[in-house]
Structure 1
Amino acid sequence: MKDVAAAIAVRDKRVLITRRAPGQNLEGLWEFPGGKVELGETVQDCIERELAEELGIEVRAGEVLIESAYHYTGGAINLIGIEVEIIGGEFELTVHDAYQWVEPLALREIELAPADLPLAEEVIRRHG
């Protein structure tokens, strides 16, 4: 099972989500941005690296909020939701074709990647 870090960024009572671009795995689905934890990397280091690479933003990683195991056709992942604070940069999309800030309750109306659903419920519980 692969560990995958996912950013939970909340600003002005809204949470950041991104949509996977055409041609990407899970294309068209919304998610909390992030990526695979590399060997020897902490989940906090991972989320800071991934958001710099995929979104062009600098974040400060905080605590782990929730973990969610999910079995996709291509393999199982352990999705680790990490609280982050955006501290710099401008959004530049690479593997995503859109991003938006949404109210937590709106997450229930958006087509999220399946592994992200428990994270969405935790965001709603904490910030909804």
Structure 2
Amino acid sequence: MRKNVQVTAAIIIHEGRIFAAQRGYGDQKDGWEFPGGKMEPAETAEDAIIREIKEELEVEIKPEKLLVTVEYDYPKFHLTMHCFISSIVSGHILLTEHEAAKWLLPSELATVDWLPADVEVAEKLKEYLAGKNH
């Protein structure tokens, strides 16, 4: 049986743009993702995403809404990813683990090569943002 990995991801929206980060390490190096990371035992998804973003980007965020929980089978493990629409509360983004980052307009979400599990998140985000603008 494959390992089930529980992670959280932040969909950081600032001034109408969405933050995308390019992985700088590991099996998924160079793929684009919504930043985040593994949940610690007994940690809530909200607590995990706040901690992970502080570690990876050195900013404090506020998770505002659970957009989607993605279930995805990677070759070595099963991923459960809780994705939160988030805003920056304080600080300036500093990349400590990623090799690149972009602020994308909703119309530009398809211009980066998302990791497989993040593709679904980008699709859901497009639907969510389209619904908000009507």
Q: Report the TM-score when normalising by structure 2.
A: 0.89
Q: Distance in 2 between matches of 1:25 and 1:11?
A: 29
Q: After superposition, where does 1:1-128 map in structure 2 within 5 Å?
A: 1-21=4-24, 23-128=25-130
Q: Distance in 2 between matches of 1:90 and 1:42?
A: 25
Q: Distance in 2 between matches of 1:31 and 1:100?
A: 11
Question: What is the deviation of 1:90?
Answer: 2.0
Q: Distance in 1 between matches of 2:5 and 2:42?
A: 13
Q: Distance in 2 between matches of 1:20 and 1:44?
A: 22
Deviations 1:49-76 (A, max 9, x none): 0000011111112221101111112201
Q: Distance in 1 between matches of 2:52 and 2:110?
A: 25
- Runs of 4 or more off by more than 6 Å in structure 1? none
Q: Distance in 1 between matches of 2:27 and 2:53?
A: 17
Q: Which amino acid aligns with 1:7?
A: A
Unaligned runs of 5+ in 2: none
Match of 1:111, SS state, is coil
Question: What is the deviation of 1:44?
Answer: 0.4
Question: What is the deviation of 1:25?
Answer: 3.1
CA RMSD of aligned residues (A): 1.2
Q: Distance in 2 between matches of 1:90 and 1:11?
A: 12
Q: Distance in 2 between matches of 1:26 and 1:11?
A: 26
